[in-house]
Chains A and B, each alone.
Chain A
Amino acid sequence: MALSSAEAEYIAASEAVREVLFVVQMLEFMKVPVEMPVTVHVDNMGAIFMLENKSSNKRTRHVDVRYRFVTDWIEKKLIEVVFVRTKENISDGFTKNVNRETYQNHTPHYVQERSYLKDDNIAHERDLDDESENVQSYGGDEVD
């Protein structure tokens, strides 16, 4: 049980990071050079502070230490945590049944109709990446 949304995001991120490290190890086994650090997009500032070990107060000190390995990996520059707005977080549809607008915005990033192969105007993921890097501002009080 998570007591706050920041804690839930923190746990979700650390679970996802385990998966990343597995993929990195597999790629290294296949002798594929991997760009480090790996970018992790999180849409909650509280969780980012927790991940970067900048926060320990009444609300966060109970959090299980078994998720703390991410902090270690951030310090070793294997992982880099970046803020992304909820609206632009394309993993939004993996935690709730999103509305039509969100579905139509996010889904084209991973699912396409067969005919997309013939369409040269489909946005490239590199574009998406650049977009999200532009909105890295740490200012907003985004609540998820």
Chain B
Amino acid sequence: MLVSYVDDNAIAGDEAAIEDTLKGLNEHGLTYTRESLTDYLSCEVIFNDDETKAWIGQPHMVKKLKKEFWEEVKGMKTYEIPGTPNQGLVRVKDGEQGLDGESHSRYRTGVGMLLYMLKTRPDLANAIRELTKCVSDPSPAAYKEMLRVIKFVIDTADYGLKIHPTHVTEGLKWKLVLYSNSDWAGDKDDRKSISGHILYVNGVPVTWSS
């Protein structure tokens, strides 16, 4: 299998098939460097010694967050969970004081960077969804919550996606397991409900949403 994203490509498969593909690329005059998978789309990929487990994280993105926001969050305490429990952010209503132009722009920057972290951090999904709800008119409380999530991400820079497949025996069928959940009337603003799910393929989290 060949995955291609603009100029970042990866090939997976058995040795003969990989050789064959590379030969084909050569014939078409394409140049490449061959190395094992350690970095893809600015995600770091590490395997254990016998390649039965892997870890995918985004140290680059955490570094960027730290560079951008460290001055603001360094005085905050160390949190154990990404979002304030049971807190629902609400959009600013008419007549209420929202954020000034500069903070609003910072809010958008912060939420935008956090959205990238979702690629390898399902645990942040709900906290970030809360933040994205009020990007157009955030309140000071929303700004504070964003800083909290950023602080949590910086403190847990070592967290990444767990890739630990249950079985890869030939001939055995792949097992899909879905967990679905909802929070009825979870949005404090309009009392819409919130849906969430996570799908495992052979014990590896593949898609999730909040």
Contact = CB atoms under 8 A, between A and B. Distances in A.
A interacts with B:
yes
Contacts of A93: 123, 125-126, 196
Contacts of B185: 2, 8
B10 interface: no
Contacts of B54: 117
A15 interface: yes
B38 interface: no
Interface in B195-210: 195-210
Interface residues on A, range: 35 or more
B100 interface: no
B177 A1 contact: no
Interface string A112-123: 111111100010
Contacts, number: 214
A11 B180 CA distance: 10
B5 interface: no
B108 interface: no
A4 B200 CA distance: 28
Interface in A14-51: 15-17, 19-20, 23-24, 27, 30, 32-35, 38-44
Given A38-B177, A111-B122, A117-B48, A126 B199 contact: no
A97 interface: yes
Interface string A91-108: 111111111100110011
B198 A1 contact: no
7 contacts: A16-B178, A35-B176, A38-B178, A95-B186, A95-B210, A117-B53, A124-B164
Interface of A: 1-2, 4-5, 7-9, 11-13, 15-17, 19-20, 23-24, 27, 30, 32-35, 38-44, 84, 86, 89-100, 103-104, 107-118, 122, 124-126, 129, 144
